[in-house]
Amino acid sequence: MPLDQSAFAGCEVPVHLQEVIGRLAAVSVTLARRIARGGIEDDLASAVGTNSDGDGQKALDVIADEAFMAALRGTGVRYYASEEQESALPLNPTGCLALAIDPLDGSSNIDANVSIGTIFSIYPAAESPEASFLRPTSEQIAAGYIIYGPQCCMMVTFGKGVLKYVLEPETAQFRLVNANVRVPAESTEFAINASNYRHWPRAIRSYIDDCVAGAEGPRERNFNMRWIASLVAETHRILTRGGIFLYPRDGRKGYENGRLRLLYEGGPIAFLVTQAGGEATDGADPILTQAPKHLHARTPLIFGSASKVARVAAYHDLPEQETSALFGTRGLFRS
């Protein structure tokens, strides 16, 4: 197992769950090496078709999915649900866990050498895949991600805070470096794809307008915008530096209910962020109160420092005619 002896930092984690995390870590070590050699032996960014939900697949999407699925056979994972698979697959009929995974998040950035990653979520297994996964995301027992960047890091929660590990290249082991990751309460950064401004709901446009207005606007401070288009990279920055990430629903066809998957992306990221003291909503309601209606159900996702996420919800609560920067001069929207 590529985890050091302090890997679980005193957490009471069952042996079968430790084994699953260990297998995920082992595959990620192999993937990190392969990503580092991308373009030398094979083209990991080459298109290989589309997944069941119509999104384009890169070669590395398929490679990662097959590697994780193979590594988890014979473990405590009874059902395996992947963003790259149409339906959940049985791995071990006696297993007690159900694992949902986005094997390679941010694959559109592979050729640009931008940080990409793996997101995973673990539930208690029920008698069927539907009962195992189509349940409130608050019932996760573990979640995390691995980010393949200048450092290869793993962030994981078992429901009692967030642990951070860094892969030591010389030993191929993940070393625990922070047993209590916390989202900074204050930050002047926000992350959103501003090219879609015209499609956003009025509340989101008003929130961003007030940020962009800077020191002269109702917020009375200057903000910086970030957008990487890799969810694990955005999450890692927020867990490290604070701020807010917004991927709202919008007016485009196919984006009415947001674009990120609740099971594979929204749920696990919400679990991590809230365990680190942040918040995660769909703009108004907490993600952890929601349950996917099917394996590939989508959701808007807004997460980050708790006060900033609450502010976005407050913009949604205003009467439609008042959601503009002009009304931000009221005390509710200052600071």
The predicted-structure confidence for 82-93, as pLDDT tens digits, reads as follows 999 999 999 999
Number of independent structural domains in the chain: 2
The answer, yes or no, to whether residue 13 has pLDDT greater than 80, is no
Nearest-angstrom CA–CA distance, 170 and 34? 16
Between CA 19 and CA 175 the distance in angstroms is 16
**Phi and psi (nearest 5°) for 222?**
-90, 145
Mean pLDDT of 227-249: 97
Looking at the structure, tell me whether residues 29 and 169 fall in a common domain: yes
Task: Name the pLDDT band for 182 (thresholds 50, 70, 90).
Answer: very high
Does 331 have pLDDT greater than 70? no
Q: What is the CATH number of the domain that holds 310?
A: 3.40.190.80
pLDDT of 40 reads: 78
**pLDDT of amino acid 252:** 96
State the pLDDT confidence band at 4, using cuts at 50, 70 and 90: low
- Least confident range from 1-15, 161-175, 263-277, 280-294: namely 1-15
CATH number at residue 151: 3.30.540.10
Check residue 46 and give its pLDDT.
81
- Is the pLDDT at 55 greater than 90? The verdict is no
Cα(177)–Cα(194) distance, integer angstroms: 35
Last residue of a domain, one of 178, 209, 244: 178
Q: Return the pLDDT at 329.
A: 43
Could you give the percent of the chain with pLDDT greater than 70? 89
Does pLDDT of 286 surpass 70? yes
Specify whether 162 is located in the same domain as 204: no
Question: Does some domain include residue 250?
Answer: yes
DSSP line for 67-130? HHHHHHTTSSEEEEEETTSSS-EE--TT--EEEEEEEEETGGGGGGT--EEEEEEEEE--SSHH
Same domain, 212 and 129: no
Question: Same domain, yes or no, for 109 and 206?
Answer: no
CA 278/CA 234 separation, integer angstroms:
14
- Residue 7, pLDDT > 80, answer no
Domain co-membership, 19 together with 164: yes
Q: Is residue 135 in some structural domain?
A: yes
Query: Across all residues in the chain, what is the average pLDDT?
Result: 90
Average pLDDT (112-126) is 95
Tokens standing for residue 277 = 């003291």
Q: Tell me how far apart the alpha carbons of residues 8 and 162 are, in angstroms, rounded to a whole number.
A: 10
Q: CA 99 to CA 197: how far, in whole Å?
A: 35
User: For 36-46, what is each residue's pLDDT tens digit?
Assistant: 988 777 777 78
More confident residue, 46 or 325: 46
C-alpha 295/C-alpha 287 separation (Å) is 16
Read off the tokens for 161.
């805070």
Residue 253's domain comprises: 189-333
Pairing of strands 142-148, 152-157: antiparallel
Query: Who has greater pLDDT, 11 or 74?
Result: 74
Structure tokens at 220: 């009375």
- DSSP category for residue 5: T
